[in-house]
Amino acid sequence: MSAHNTLQVPAKTARATRTDPDRTANPNPGRSALKGGIFGYYADQFDIYLPIITLAPAMIYFQSPEMDKGTAATIAALVFASTLIARPLGSAIFGHFADKFGRHKLTLVALAGFGVATLSIAFLPGYQSIGIWSVVLLVLLRFLGGVFLGGEYSTAVPLAMEWTPKKYRGLASGLITATNPLANATIAVLTFALLMLFPAGSVDSPYVQWGWRIPFVIGGILAGIVFVYYVRHVEEAPHFEASAIKESPVKALFLGRHRRSLMQVFILMTGLWFLTNVAAAILPATLKNTVGVPDKTVSVIMLIASVVTIGGFLTAAALSQRVGRRRFYIGFGITALIVASTAFILLLNTPAENLVAVTLLAVVIDVFTISCFGPIAAYLTERFPAAIRASGYGIGYSFALIIPAFYTFYLSGLTAFMPTAYTPVVLIVIGGILLAAGAYLGPETRDVDMGSPAPEPAGSQA
């Protein structure tokens, strides 16, 4: 049965929750909210991958010709890190106001914000024109865009989940989060095609001068299209009016009775982000630098892995709906610990010439690490009550990025005890343990009523 036919909301509910009597009647606000969540998350993830994939071959546009490789690498890392740092901030800000004033309004602000920031980057002058200010403006715009990106998934995802009947929340979550590998694959294909048409290399080459701008323009336009869709078709969450509270949602999470719930989610998400870093950052570098796979072949392998992982997201989401979120995450953490770590060790001992085996192992690592994102949209929104749901989702999702973000330092420290190439296996083991432990400490959420208080952590009376 398709999402198109299943996500039906009774007309009585739709009328009862409509906030604007002058709007054209929407016979199925649940389906519209889900489509908005899917489109919005895709636009969000598209933007996130732009500096990693599209901008990498053109970074010399923003750098001095005399700059050494170490400084250039630091600047490239800063461009990515600026967004990473800004996302938790955006989640806290937008989550707070979404819980106070509504998911719909804040989703529009977030979409407009990162759309303008992304489009502005496409028109930046380079080092040849304005010197060091070119990279300063790039970092600032990526930071600003990161604030709005953190706000987008903190508002649009809870809005979609709150409109979705409980028996379809797993499916809806998978459809939303599967746009992560889809966006990655889209950017990879688009960048590869542009590099074939417009060569890169020198600062005066076509790709470096203007080819890289095309995906940024597309990213800005995508955000604009989703903005218009939300204005025309998406309504406020059905339980929002009942969620208004005087206490700050952020204070309630960190200092109030929901602090244990936040800590439990933080443990689970920290494990998830460790696994994600292995798949998204460490795996491509391992294929290139350790296994010895050529650059273009690495790109093709990661593209194949991303496409296969779309199915992994959907399968994981469907499985969580069948066995429950808690059992799923406990099981996935243990499975990732065994399967992904074994596949990584085998990959390190497989010659680059055995391309089929290398590709298969890379796909296994990708699927058995980041596929656990499939049910996360459902789990995090089910985990918190309506009054603090946007804040809980955004903060729980984004603040857990911080510890895993320093994975390079952990890998460096581990080299004192083991061969460098094998250090990522430790991160997989840690990620799997934290994911399973975080799920074990929490309650089952699959059948939670979105309009009722969320359950407390397992064994907690606070």
List the domain range (segments joined by +) for residue 286: 250-462
**Which pLDDT band, with edges at 50, 70 and 90, does 69 fall under?**
confident
Element spanning 128, H or E = helix 127-130
CA distance 81 to 87: 10
Q: Is residue 12 part of a domain?
A: no
CA distance 112 to 155: 13
Buried b (16+ CB within 10 A) or exposed e, 26-60: bebbbbbbbbbbbbbbbbbbbbbbbbbbbbebbbb
For 332-355, what is the mean pLDDT? 97
3-class DSSP state of 451: coil
**Which pLDDT band, with edges at 50, 70 and 90, does 459 fall under?**
very low
**Encoding tokens for residue 385?**
């009550």
- pLDDT at residue 432 in the model: 98
Whether 415 and 172 have beta carbons less than 8 Å apart is answered as: no
Q: Are residues 227 and 270 in the same domain?
A: no
- pLDDT at residue 25 in the model: 59
Q: Kindly tell me the sign of the dihedral angle through the C-alpha atoms of 384, 390, 396, 397.
A: positive
- pLDDT at residue 17 in the model: 42
Q: Is residue 116 part of a domain?
A: yes
Q: Are residues 166 and 315 in the same domain?
A: no
pLDDT at 274 over 90: yes
> What letter would DSSP give residue 245?
-
Q: Is residue 208 part of a domain?
A: yes
Element spanning 227, H or E = helix 213-233
- pLDDT at residue 455 in the model: 55
- pLDDT at residue 27 in the model: 74
Please report where in the chains the tokens 């581990």 appear, as a residue.
414
Q: Are residues 70 and 206 in the same domain?
A: yes
- pLDDT at residue 337 in the model: 96
- pLDDT at residue 123 in the model: 95
Q: Are residues 279 and 231 in the same domain?
A: no
pLDDT at 265 over 90: yes
Q: SS3 sequence, 63-94?
A: CCCCCCHHHHHHHHHHHHHHHHHHHHHHHHHH
CA distance 70 to 16: 59
pLDDT at 71 over 70: yes
Q: State the total domains in the chain.
A: 2
- pLDDT at residue 140 in the model: 94
- pLDDT at residue 291 in the model: 93
Q: For residue 307, which amino acid is it?
A: V
pLDDT, greater one: 345 or 461: 345
Buried b (16+ CB within 10 A) or exposed e, 296-329: eebbebbbbbbbbbbebbbbbbbbbbeebbbbbb
CA distance 190 to 337: 34
Nearest to 111 by CA among 151, 59, 61, 65: 151
**Which pLDDT band, with edges at 50, 70 and 90, does 18 fall under?**
very low
CATH no. for residue 317? 1.20.1250.20
For 380-407, what is the mean pLDDT? 91
Name the domain boundary from 190, 219, 244.
244
Q: Is residue 394 part of a domain?
A: yes
Name the domain boundary from 213, 229, 244.
244
- pLDDT at residue 182 in the model: 94
| pLDDT per position as a tens digit, 130-163 | 988 999 999 999 999 999 999 998 999 999 999 9
Q: Is residue 63 part of a domain?
A: yes
pLDDT, greater one: 281 or 428: 428
Q: Is residue 321 part of a domain?
A: yes
Q: Are residues 275 and 415 in the same domain?
A: yes
CA distance 105 to 457: 31
CA distance 372 to 369: 7
- pLDDT at residue 352 in the model: 93
Q: Are residues 260 and 385 in the same domain?
A: yes
Q: Are residues 226 and 334 in the same domain?
A: no
CA distance 67 to 74: 11
Q: Are residues 240 and 302 in the same domain?
A: no
Q: Are residues 203 and 262 in the same domain?
A: no
Q: For residue 329, which amino acid is it?
A: Y
Nearest to 435 by CA among 344, 373, 346, 393: 373
**Encoding tokens for residue 190?**
């688009």
Q: Are residues 396 and 434 in the same domain?
A: yes
For 376-392, what is the mean pLDDT? 93
Give how far Cα 199 sits from Cα of 209, 210, 361, Å.
10, 11, 32
Q: Are residues 230 and 278 in the same domain?
A: no
- pLDDT at residue 218 in the model: 96
Q: Is residue 3 part of a domain?
A: no
Nearest to 398 by CA among 297, 221, 265: 265
Q: Are residues 217 and 324 in the same domain?
A: no
Strands (DSSP E) contained in 10-83 are: none
Q: Is residue 13 part of a domain?
A: no
Q: What does the mean pLDDT of the chain come to? A: 87
Name the domain boundary from 217, 244, 271.
244
- pLDDT at residue 244 in the model: 52
Which residues are within 8 A (CB) of 187 and not within 5 positions of it... i.e. 6 or more apart? 46, 49, 50, 53, 54, 215
